[in-house]
Amino acid sequence: MSIQTRTHVKAAEATNPQAAAAPAAKMVARDVKVFYGAKQALKGINIDILENKVLALIGPSGCGKSTFLRCLNRMNDTIDNCRVEGLISLDGEDVYGRRIDAVQLRARVGMVFQKPNPFPKSIYDNIVYGPRIHGLASHRDEMDEIVETSLKRAGLWNEVKDRLREPGTGLSGGQQQRLCIARAIAVSPEVILMDEPCSALDPIATAHIEELIDELRENYTIVIVTHNMQQAARVSQKTAFFHLGDMVECDDTEEIFTNPRDERTQGYITGRYG
């Protein structure tokens, strides 16, 4: 990112009253553009992600919401020929800057994926994987404690406490996804990104996860991508609508669903396209 863009962003922030009125922003995105090779996937996104709130990203397939989500913890770095421009900051620190390494960033901004992807290890080892590589726990007792608290927070403890040594891949889909959430919680991130976490699950498992998201909000800031309008309405406080690489509007969830300002938003949430 060039210095010129940076000053430009600063100026925009100063004149933008909305940004000034949101002091509790955990993460801030300003004029974020993403290119895959020559193709532009995001065309300048500005969003404030508020602390201890759930932000839902909605929009038709291919609109760039997952791309944006993956910018927040630099998962796009693993994709060749992907280029990110603009400013994304976490607690005021540029995440693409020199002082933060992608590896450290991802420990602070965890991620849960569309398809449950437990490692081919035991449930216990799945949870302690993150703490171990980050040196958060060295003793057996500490690990046991992390496993217990993480699984409890993810609402999975009672179901698996007697089979912690069994492979995580042996759980049901919904349990696997909660295991993945527990795994993300175990490294005590500040922000959790969820990329359509319920799209591979049945309605009961989905209800479980939604409840969980609501509880997790107390301790974490959450960004969730979803194709399910009801889900966005149920779990989020803020909703952002993406369309063709643009963010069309971002507001309180209630506002978006009852009184959308843009007619594209209205068209999408009422099911006219997308």
Partner 1 sequence: MQITVLLLVLVGLTAAGYYMGRASAVRAVGGRIAALHSVPAYYGVYVALWAGLPAFLLFLVWGASENWIVMQMVLGALPQNMTDGSEQSLSLLKADILNIAAGISTGREPDPVVLAAAERYNMLRALGDWMLLAIGSALAVAGLSYARGRIAPDLRARNLVERVINVFLVGCSLVAILTTAGIVLSLVFEAMRFFTVYPIFDFLFGLQWSPQTAIRADQVGSSGSFGAVPLFAGTLLITLIAMLVAVPVGLMSAIYMSEYAPPRVRATMKPVLEILAGIPTVVYGFFAALTMAPFVRRLGESMGMSVSSESALAAGFVMGIMIIPFVSSLSDDVINSVPQSLRDGSYGLGATRSETIRQVVLPAALPGIVAAVMLAISRAIGETMIVTMAAGLAANLTANPLQAVTTVTTQIATLLVGDQEFDSPKTLSAFGLGLVLFVVTLSLNMIALRVVQKYREKYD
Q: Which of 27, 58, 95, 107 binds partner 1 (CB under 8 A)?
A: 107
Does 197 help bind partner 1 (rule: CB under 8 A)?
A: no
Q: Which of 83, 115, 217, 234 binds partner 1 (CB under 8 A)?
A: 115
CA 272 to chain centre: 27
Does 154 help bind partner 1 (rule: CB under 8 A)?
A: no
Does 120 help bind partner 1 (rule: CB under 8 A)?
A: yes
Q: Which of 6, 43, 134, 234 binds partner 1 (CB under 8 A)?
A: 134
Does 206 help bind partner 1 (rule: CB under 8 A)?
A: no
**d(Cα 152, Cα 150) in Å, to the nearest integer?**
5
Q: How far is the CB of 131 from partner 1 (least distance, A)?
A: 9
Does 33 help bind partner 1 (rule: CB under 8 A)?
A: no
Torsion, Cα of 246, 20, 234, 269 (10° steps): -30
Does 93 help bind partner 1 (rule: CB under 8 A)?
A: no
DSSP secondary structure string for all residues of 123-178: HHHHHHHHHHHTTS--SHHHHHHHHHHHHHHTT-HHHHTT-TTSBGGGS-HHHHHH
Does 187 help bind partner 1 (rule: CB under 8 A)?
A: yes
Does 121 help bind partner 1 (rule: CB under 8 A)?
A: yes
Q: How far is the CB of 119 from partner 1 (least distance, A)?
A: 5
Does 169 help bind partner 1 (rule: CB under 8 A)?
A: yes
Question: Tokens 């009125």 — which residue?
Answer: 21
> Helices 140-153 and 173-186 meet at what angle, rounded to 10?
130
CA neighbor of 113 nearest in space, from 216, 45, 184? 184
Does 18 help bind partner 1 (rule: CB under 8 A)?
A: no
Largest separation between any pair of C-alpha atoms in the chain: 57
Torsion, Cα of 248, 249, 254, 257 (10° steps): -20
Q: Which is nearer to partner 1, 6 or 108 (CB)?
A: 108
Tokens of 75: 């998962």
**d(Cα 144, Cα 34) in Å, to the nearest integer?**
41
Q: Which is nearer to partner 1, 73 or 253 (CB)?
A: 73
Q: Which of 16, 40, 52, 117 binds partner 1 (CB under 8 A)?
A: 117
Q: Residue 184: helix, strand or coil by DSSP?
A: helix
Does 183 help bind partner 1 (rule: CB under 8 A)?
A: yes
Q: Which is nearer to partner 1, 126 or 239 (CB)?
A: 126
Contact positions vs partner 1 (CB under 8 A): 73, 75, 78, 80, 103-108, 110-113, 115, 117-121, 129-130, 133-134, 169, 180, 183-184, 187
